[in-house]
Chain A
């Protein structure tokens, strides 16, 4: 995926400033939301990663339990009553013994575990999203989907001694398996709809399913033949492949689902168009119930994306190491505010999309976070953390200030419990749920 950011940006730049929903051609599910009579239990999880931390002085709200939006979060105004901002949370396992904070912080973002410093022997932990995906496996055609806007340079080292996978994945299905993310809207769209051609007749689609079934049977037999020949190391790889084929089998057997007629997205013209398409794909995935677990990386760890459309000079990572330079700090605040605006637009789209008796946001837990707190000093405390949706459990318009150093992983325990799991611990330091979050607890 290539994102040209140089041309034709003036209109986009205007739109990017505020929470303006850009209508996109391939999904039309906007209808006025209705309110359910009883409480809605969240059943979806969306984790949203922004790189390089934030400039805290303009990001964190004033110390008032009623949310007063800070300058960097101003764009959240339309959805403010459905958002909780946290301060004081820390992800201590993200702190590496030697430099490499972006790799270790990103690997720890959803795992709350310390990443092993290695180029080939990856190890961290199961991520929050994958813990939930495993618990509800089979409920939807795709157990989970990982998306992002930055593929990552196919060269060089990423962070000293850490494999690049730590930089580019936040989802880990096991402590040794990072899940790669899709950055291509077209490929993501095709996979979401499982290659179904919505224009085809029912008979043609049924025939296609039967054919897929026979292809899978042949490939499964190939796997069976291989199994006996393999040693223990290669067997692990084949088993992972087999798990993927089993997931494909479930998809072939799954009902088509009530997905509104959707046409595939084209090649995005620039980064902003790319981001819009990814937002729409996330809404589509939930609206059609193709999956209930999404993760999204706005950028990879230590992303050095430039923001010429904001009039900001410099790459994001370079700006984050501002060394006190006033113009860089101002640029960083602009980037933070822009990121919040993108996130707000996604929330608005979820809020505008009906789901049962309510809207998608109400039945979805949306979590935003980063690898570090302050990008200049690589701190792993005072992290930017934002929660949206799941309103019936904890409301919104709140600012929850905790004592500095309170484990982020406690929030993850709370989220898993809210999603109906019995978990009482998570990661290295999630020793129980976060107090004060639930309205009923």
Chain B
């Protein structure tokens, strides 16, 4: 009961923004009137691969509680992390849950119920009406129905509503509401995202509207659908491709798109991993938790620029500006007269830096505790940006020979002398060594152990670059880059590995992305409009 506290200012604002119950009903009726003729999708869905139900990640759980109840799920920070699969925790949550997790959900639900009833704003949002002393039932019903609809992302069935209402003694409203919240949050209806099968096992069908709203909101917000999405679901409008496109733009412009920034980009570009990066204070006196937080925020801001239509995603790598605050100023060696306080954009012209690849946060995540890590940095470019992973190293690579080289370039040159290692390292090393000017916390350096750093290189294709800025341009123009981005976004959206059946869909999405000059918003719209996002294959009967 100690563990949850009232929501932060920003979430309270979000709660206040949400229309009240009566207002919501009015919007629903209005929409119903306008779109009386709901656009039915094509009758039969094309075959799509089977997908398993997914549990909410700890991140999704916290966001959902914030948006549904207006309080912070503070225990969610201490949930056991979902170990990523294919680089995303959302993929891992298709694994069956452990008993321990169910126990954690119970404990957390009790703590959140307590926080909700303690918070004035959360209580106010919960009470969509005031029970009449003579006949409290209609209002109690409205309160519980509203809560379950938001928490479960769909209206409750009549039997479900009765079951939850039975937990309330009207004379002890608070005690009853506490139990309703506890049960609603412990229910698998909250902790999982179920999608109902319609039709024969093995056959594909279009998702129902609420399930589609849920896929959309967890993809772009890592949270529950808001009233507008639920209202659109009620009238069947989400099946319309143009409505989906409008919703994507609306949702990406909403502050809740922070869920996509941290959930997708935080894992794709590794900045979520900064949480776990510690550095020796003597060797890296500039690095502390405040710097780490600023590194992450700088990367968020760089990525967020691409959530509005009209940007070319190549600029993620090519942009000549960075977001810098007072914490990061020292890492950039900004002169004192450039007084930086809050985050501001600086021109990277004088800094020998460019775009994502020289972000201090990225350089820090891709380093060893006490040194730069050219192989990790090279792998990041090959795996995360180009989707061209190298084969695993040979077994004997684990026991490396002694090296007395003073620079990383010399050390790797010795390594390449081993024929078992040479093949892969010929690809990996030139890329990784291009980053050598950036130390283990992403600060620029001219030399290592007294030897001048040479960041120039040549790729196996013969392309030459003088430094990481020229390498960034090569990677940005590599056709594998946009295709790789499409692969990551689709995998994240579907929460499952892509299989052979998905390849035509992926190609189609990729073509639309290219046709839109690599506009990330267009890519996301194409993903949301694709068949595997909108359809489901009915599972075998048990």
A binds B: yes
Residue ranges of A at the interface with B (Cβ–Cβ < 8 Å)? 1-7, 98-101, 119-120, 122, 142-143, 145-146, 151-158, 160-161, 163-165, 167-169, 173, 176-184, 186-187, 190-191, 195, 197, 211-212, 214-216, 218-219, 221-223, 225-226, 229-241, 243-245, 247-248, 251, 264, 304, 306, 308, 313-315, 318, 321, 323-325, 376-378
Cβ-neighbour of B100 out of A145, A215, A235, A323 (below 8 A): A145
Contact residues in A for B400 (Cβ distance below 8 Å): 321, 323
Residue ranges of B at the interface with A (Cβ–Cβ < 8 Å)? 1-3, 50, 52-53, 55, 75, 78-87, 89, 91-92, 94-104, 106-107, 110, 157, 159-160, 163-164, 166-167, 179, 182-183, 186-189, 191-192, 194, 196-197, 201, 266-267, 270-273, 275-276, 278, 280-282, 288-289, 365, 368-370, 383, 392-395, 397-403, 496-497, 538-542
Is there an interface contact between A211 and B179, defined as CB atoms closer than 8 Å?
yes
Minimum CB–CB distance from B423 to chain A (whole Å) comes to 15
Is there an interface contact between B370 and A313, defined as CB atoms closer than 8 Å?
yes
User: A6-B280, A315-B368 given. 10 additional CB < 8 A pairs?
Assistant: A119-B497, A154-B276, A173-B99, A178-B95, A186-B3, A215-B186, A222-B187, A247-B103, A308-B282, A323-B400
Contact residues in B for A230 (Cβ distance below 8 Å): 53, 194, 197, 539, 542
Cβ-neighbour of B397 out of A99, A122, A145, A197 (below 8 A): A99
If the complex has contacts A165-B85, A231-B197, A378-B395, are A155 and B52 also in contact, measured as CB distance less than 8 A?
no
Contact residues in B for A308 (Cβ distance below 8 Å): 280-282
Is there an interface contact between A247 and B99, defined as CB atoms closer than 8 Å?
yes
CA–CA, A366 to B398, complex, Å?
31
Q: What's the count of A-B pairs with C-beta under 8 Å?
A: 275
CA–CA, A222 to B187, complex, Å?
7
Is there an interface contact between B160 and A101, defined as CB atoms closer than 8 Å?
no
CA–CA, A251 to B102, complex, Å?
12
Contact residues in B for A191 (Cβ distance below 8 Å): 100, 103-104, 107
CA–CA, A232 to B52, complex, Å?
10
Is there an interface contact between A324 and B163, defined as CB atoms closer than 8 Å?
no
If the complex has contacts A156-B87, A247-B99, are A2 and B275 also in contact, measured as CB distance less than 8 A?
yes
Contact residues in A for B160 (Cβ distance below 8 Å): 222, 225
Contact residues in A for B201 (Cβ distance below 8 Å): 231
Cβ-neighbour of B539 out of A168, A183, A231, A243 (below 8 A): A231
CA–CA, A1 to B276, complex, Å?
9
Cβ-neighbour of B99 out of A122, A165, A244, A377 (below 8 A): A244
Is there an interface contact between B52 and A237, defined as CB atoms closer than 8 Å?
yes
Contact residues in B for A154 (Cβ distance below 8 Å): 81-82, 84, 89, 266-267, 272-273, 275-276
Is there an interface contact between B542 and A235, defined as CB atoms closer than 8 Å?
yes
Contact residues in B for A223 (Cβ distance below 8 Å): 188
Cβ-neighbour of A120 out of B86, B164, B183, B272 (below 8 A): B86
Is there an interface contact between B278 and A244, defined as CB atoms closer than 8 Å?
no
CA–CA, A256 to B397, complex, Å?
54
Cβ-neighbour of B83 out of A165, A190, A239, A304 (below 8 A): A165
Contact residues in B for A238 (Cβ distance below 8 Å): 53, 188, 192
Give the interface centre of A2, A145, A154, A308 by most chain B CB atoms within 10 Å.
A154
Question: What are 19 A-to-B residue pairs whose CB atoms are below 8 Å?
Answer: A4-B289, A6-B278, A99-B395, A151-B276, A165-B85, A165-B92, A167-B83, A176-B95, A180-B83, A187-B75, A191-B100, A195-B107, A215-B179, A218-B164, A231-B542, A237-B192, A248-B102, A306-B278, A313-B370
Contact residues in B for A180 (Cβ distance below 8 Å): 80-83, 98, 100-101
CA–CA, A164 to B87, complex, Å?
9
CA–CA, A212 to B84, complex, Å?
33
Cβ-neighbour of B403 out of A6, A218, A323 (below 8 A): A323
Is there an interface contact between A232 and B275, defined as CB atoms closer than 8 Å?
no
Is there an interface contact between B96 and A240, defined as CB atoms closer than 8 Å?
yes
If the complex has contacts A98-B392, A243-B99, A378-B395, are A119 and B540 also in contact, measured as CB distance less than 8 A?
no
Is there an interface contact between A187 and B107, defined as CB atoms closer than 8 Å?
yes
Minimum CB–CB distance from B139 to chain A (whole Å) comes to 21
Contact residues in A for B370 (Cβ distance below 8 Å): 306, 313-315, 318
Contact residues in A for B267 (Cβ distance below 8 Å): 154-156
Is there an interface contact between B102 and A247, defined as CB atoms closer than 8 Å?
yes
Is there an interface contact between A195 and B275, defined as CB atoms closer than 8 Å?
no
Closest to B379 in A: A157
Is there an interface contact between A197 and B1, defined as CB atoms closer than 8 Å?
yes
Cβ-neighbour of B101 out of A7, A155, A244, A378 (below 8 A): A244
Minimum CB–CB distance from A334 to chain B (whole Å) comes to 15
Contact residues in B for A313 (Cβ distance below 8 Å): 280, 370
Cβ-neighbour of A240 out of B98, B281, B289 (below 8 A): B98
Closest to B196 in A: A229
Minimum CB–CB distance from A287 to chain B (whole Å) comes to 20
Contact residues in A for B104 (Cβ distance below 8 Å): 187, 191
Closest to B89 in A: A154
Is there an interface contact between A152 and B83, defined as CB atoms closer than 8 Å?
yes
Is there an interface contact between A376 and B398, defined as CB atoms closer than 8 Å?
yes
Is there an interface contact between A155 and B365, defined as CB atoms closer than 8 Å?
yes
CA–CA, A187 to B83, complex, Å?
19
Is there an interface contact between A245 and B78, defined as CB atoms closer than 8 Å?
no
If the complex has contacts A179-B100, A324-B402, are A155 and B95 also in contact, measured as CB distance less than 8 A?
no
CA–CA, A168 to B84, complex, Å?
11
Is there an interface contact between B96 and A236, defined as CB atoms closer than 8 Å?
yes
CA–CA, A395 to B78, complex, Å?
40
Contact residues in A for B280 (Cβ distance below 8 Å): 6, 306, 308, 313
Cβ-neighbour of B368 out of A167, A187, A232, A318 (below 8 A): A318
Contact residues in B for A164 (Cβ distance below 8 Å): 83-85, 92
Which 3 pairs from chain A and chain B are nearest by CB? A231-B539, A244-B102, A164-B83
Contact residues in A for B97 (Cβ distance below 8 Å): 237, 240-241, 244
Closest to B88 in A: A155
Closest to A179 in B: B98
Closest to B84 in A: A164
